[in-house]
Structure 1
C-alpha cells in the first residue's frame, strides 16, 4: 500500500519519521518492444514475463527487509515504466520529474508527475527542451553535499547546470562516452562513507579527473569490463548491503574489504532492456 509522505525541509536527508523509502513499479507490462539502448538490440520479444516477475519480486522482498517499498501503478503500453530510477530525482521533499529523450518513454512523465504530486512532493520546474532522466543520471554523493549528473547520452549537456540552479546544490557533470552505459547509474555508484564504484572507460578524461579530484584514491573502487557488463555499478546501497545483479569474486572481495556486504540477486530479464537493480528502484528518502 502506498504510504503518505511526511513533509520535510529540502535538505536531502532522511525524514525523521521514516526509514529509507524506495519507489518501484510492478513489471505487469514489461517486455522489450523497441530499441533505445544497445542492450535492447536483438532482444525484442525475448523477455520472459513470468521470470521477470519472479526476479522483480525477489528484489522487492530483498529490499523490503531494510526499507519501505512504495509502488506506482504500472500502465499498459509502457514496458519501461518498471525502471523507476528514471521517474525523476528527489531531494528532500522536492522532485524533478524526468524529461525523457526517447519518445517511447515520454508518456510516463504525466503518470510519474501525478504520483509524486499525490505523495506530497514539490514538483520543481524544469525546461521542456532539456532532456533529463532523473536518478538514472543524477546521483547523490554519500559523503558530501554534492550531486553527480551524467550527460551526453540521455540527459542533455545543459542538465547538470540546470539541476544545480534548481536544487541550489553543487552538481558535477560527468560526460558519458560509451553507448552501453547510457545512464550514469549503469557505470557509477556512490556508496556510503564516500566510496565510489565506477567504470572509468565509460567517461571522458575530464570527467575521470573530476571523480579523482573529489574522491580520495582509497575510496575509489574501479571496476573492469567484465563487472561493468554485469551492471555491477547498477546497484542499491542499503545500510552497507550492496544489492546487485552480479559481480565477480574479485569485486565482491574488494567490496567486503571496504566494509560492504554484496548481495547478489539475478535480474537477467531486465538486463535485456538495459536495466538492473538500481534502474528498478528510486530512493525517495536517503539515509
Structure 2
C-alpha cells in the first residue's frame, strides 16, 4: 500500500512485524575526486555552502577516513569520482539496492543524471553481483531514491518526502522497485530537499527526526509515536548540523559526522545509548559544504 493517510499508517503499523534485514550487508562509496560545489544542485539545496571555498584535497582525506572507518563494520567498495559529477560523492540518491536488485534513480538535475549513466557502477551490480537492474532514470518522474525515501528495512516501510526531487509518480515507482509493503507519502517543509536530512530509521527500532522538516507536524508526530520511546527529536539547529543525516551501519552503531555528533545534547546521546547504539563520528567539514553529510555518502548493499 502507498498512501498519504495517517489513519492507514496507524492501522498498518501493528501488523508490521520487523522480519527483514535491519542493516546493510556491505557498502559502496564514490570518492570526491575533482571535488567542487555544483551550481545546479544549489538551486534547491539550501544546505550547500556556496559562499565558501572548498579544499578538494581535504575532501579526499575526509572521504578516505570515512571509507576506512566504514570498512571496520562492513565490506566497503569505493568507486572513483569525476569533476564532471561533483555530487557523485553522495551516491545513495542515484544508486540503491534491495536484496538481489539494484535501482537507478531519476534525478532532477542534469549534473546528477550523468551519474546514473555510469557503466562501471551499473556493471558492478549487474555483472559482478548478478543483481537485477531496475532503471527509473527514464520513468518521467522525479525519484531520488534513499535521499527522498527513508526505509525501515526491517518492516518494509518507506517514508517518502515529496517535493522538487520526488513526486507522487516517483514515490510509486520506488515503492514497487524496493518491494515495500507500505509507503507513507508526505510533503516536506518548504526549503527541504531530501527526507534523509530530516529523518533516519535506525535498525528498525529507533528514529532520529526533525519535526520542522515536515510540512504537516502531524506526520512527524505519527511516525514518532510508532517508534516511541526510541525517538530523538532534533531542533532546527541540529537539523542544520546534519544530525538527521545519520545511519545505522550495524545493529549497535549509529554513524554521523563529527559536526552532527557535536550538535547532540546529552539526553539525546543517552537515549541512543539506551536503545543500544554507540555513536560513531567522522569529521567531514569539506564534504558537508556540498549540502550532504555522512548518510548521503554511504550507499547500502542488501
Q: TM-score range by the shorter chain?
A: 0.7 to 0.9
- Dislocated runs of 4+, deviation >6 Å: none
**Structure 1 position 85 matched with structure 2 position 102:** no
Aligned to 1:159: 170
Alignment of 1:1-287 (within 5 A): 13=21, 20-34=25-39, 35-36=42-43, 37-43=45-51, 46-111=53-118, 112-119=121-128, 120-126=130-136, 127-169=138-180, 170-179=182-191, 181-205=192-216, 207-212=219-224, 215-239=226-250, 240-245=252-257, 246-247=260-261, 248-250=264-266, 251-285=268-302
Q: Normalising by the residue count of structure 2, what TM-score does the alignment of the two structures yield?
A: 0.81
Bigger helix fraction: 2
Partner of 2:174: helix, strand, or coil?
helix
**RMSD, aligned α-carbons:** 2.4
Task: Tell me, in whole angstroms, the C-alpha distance in 2 between the residues paired with 1:242 and 1:14.
Answer: 12
CA shift digits 1:210-258 (9 cap, x unpaired): 4146x23212221112221110111121222111112224232332232
Q: Deviations over 1:157-200 (max 9, x none)?
A: 32222222334422222321142x31111111101242111101
Q: CA 1:253–1:125 in structure 2 vs 1: closer, same or farther (change >3 Å)?
A: same
- So what's the TM-score if we normalise by structure 1? 0.85
Give distance in 2, aligned partners of 1:178 and 1:262. 30
Separation of aligned partners in 2, 1:33 and 1:192: 32
Residues 84, 125 of structure 1: alpha-carbon distance in 2 compared, 3 angstrom cutoff = closer
Are the aligned partners of 1:13 and 1:92 in contact in 2 as well (CA < 8 Å)?
no
Unaligned regions of 5+ residues in structure 2, if any?
A: 1-18
Report the CA distance shift for 1:42/1:73 in structure 2 as closer, same or farther (over 3 A).
Answer: closer
- Unmatched tracts of structure 1, length 5 or more: 1-10
Deviates more, 1:215-224 or 1:89-98: 215-224
Q: Secondary structure at the match of 1:106?
A: helix
User: Number of residue pairs matched?
Assistant: 269
Cα drift, residue 115 of structure 1: 4.1
